Amino acid sequence: MIKLRKYGRYAAVLCGLLAAAVLAGCDSKSTKTAEAMQLLQGLQYQEALDLFQSAEEEGENARLIDRGRGIAYMGLTQYEEAIACFEAALAGSDGFVQPVDFDVNYYLAAAFIKNGQPAEAEEVYNAILGLRPDEEDAYFLRGNARLQQNNYEGAKEDFDRMVSLDSDNYDRMIEIYQALQHYGYKDVGREYLENAMLAAEDKMNSYDSGRMYFYLGEYQKACVALEKAREKGDAESYLYLGRAYEATGDYNYAASVYNSWIAKDTGNAAIYNQLGLCEMAMGNYQRALEAFQAGMQVENNTLMQTLAFNEIVAYEHLEEYQKAYALVESYLKSYPDDEQARREQRFLSSR
């Protein structure tokens, strides 16, 4: 028998990887557990905890309940409690490794990162890689955990290993660049992008080369490549094209790029958010507000927190301080660990 190690005891990228797993793992018999997981999707963390309690009293799957409680406590920024729940879920294993064990270990590592324990998170990734030595996500996330511990050499080893496993994963290449840039290794991050472009030669498409040029700061080249990519009608191409024009200072044209996409598809929250930021940069705060609010109407979007915060900022610029204060109060109930929002709350309370 083999099983992942159980422990007695990052990051923005990790949250993205885990978001898709929130509804996973609920069997059809666990009615209240499944309902509680739906509440988590709506950020109703305390309500979900109450329902998990009822599920436990009715004898539903204990491991899934502990997993769900851990997610709820993470949402409430109660990371010690979350860690305890994830460890309880792992302790309930029958000794045979199942997909849920890997899922819970990723959550456990996320809780350690959020709790300021990157060394413990690294140990979790070590356990995952011990059983899945080609797990790309674990290499990338362990690299991030190592960067948090000032272990640049170890992080680079992980990133290099990940690239060797999937050298055409340009999304992840960009994430490596962003992680290295965040921790002060921008030039090293650039090397990953430059090497990817050299390796691809003429095979890299306009969208990917445009993104590479964008992060390398070669905005004119990015604009040329992404104009070609836009012809295929992809929302991400429009998004990067607009951002590239913003970087050159041409906010008017950037706004027209975003609006041209919205004219044919109103279902992309990221486009609305970027349009709002663009309008903010031009001082058009009412238009910015309308863009953020339109983005919030897009169903099942993953940018609700960003859009909600930007809505507050727009109201602040419009000098509607009472409205902004009411919104930030509500916002902090859903996102209590957002320090920037708490600073906004303090500022608005004095207006």
Q: Is the pLDDT of residue 11 over 50?
A: no
CB 285 within 8 A of CB 320: no
Q: How far apart are CA 10 and CA 236, in angstroms?
A: 25
Confidence of residue 13 (pLDDT cuts 50, 70, 90): very low
CB 87 within 8 A of CB 8: yes
Burial label for 289, CB within 10 Å (0-12, 13-18, 19+), is buried
Give the whole-number percent of the chain exceeding pLDDT 70. Answer: 91
Nearest residue to 275 (alpha-carbon basis) of 327, 228, 316, 238: 238
Q: Which residue has the tokens 């897009």?
A: 298
Q: How far apart are CA 159 and CA 140, in angstroms?
A: 6
pLDDT at 29: 53
Please give the model's pTM, rounded to 2 decimal places: 0.83
The 3-class SS string of 148-201 reads HCCCHHHHHHHHHHHHHHCCCCHHHHHHHHHHHHHCCCHHHHHHHHHHHHHHHC
Q: How far apart are CA 217 and CA 225, in angstroms?
A: 14
Q: Which residue has the tokens 């950020």?
A: 43
**pLDDT, tens digit, 9 for 90 and up, residues 48-82:** 999 999 999 999 999 999 999 999 999 999 999 99
Which phi and psi (to 5°) does residue 229 adopt?
-65, -30
Q: Is the pLDDT of residue 200 over 70?
A: yes
Query: Which two tokens mark 184?
Result: 């002060």
Q: Which residue has the tokens 């109060």?
A: 329
CB 87 within 8 A of CB 108: yes
- Cβ atoms within 10 Å, residue 258: 29
Nearest residue to 18 (alpha-carbon basis) of 111, 118, 89: 111
Residue 67 per-residue DSSP state: H
Maximum alpha-carbon separation in the chain: 63
**pLDDT, tens digit, 9 for 90 and up, residues 274-300:** 999 999 999 999 999 999 999 999 998
Burial label for 112, CB within 10 Å (0-12, 13-18, 19+), is buried
**pLDDT, tens digit, 9 for 90 and up, residues 107-122:** 999 999 999 999 999 9
Q: How far apart are CA 136 and CA 342, in angstroms?
A: 36
Q: How many helices (H) and strands (E) does the chain have?
A: 20, 0
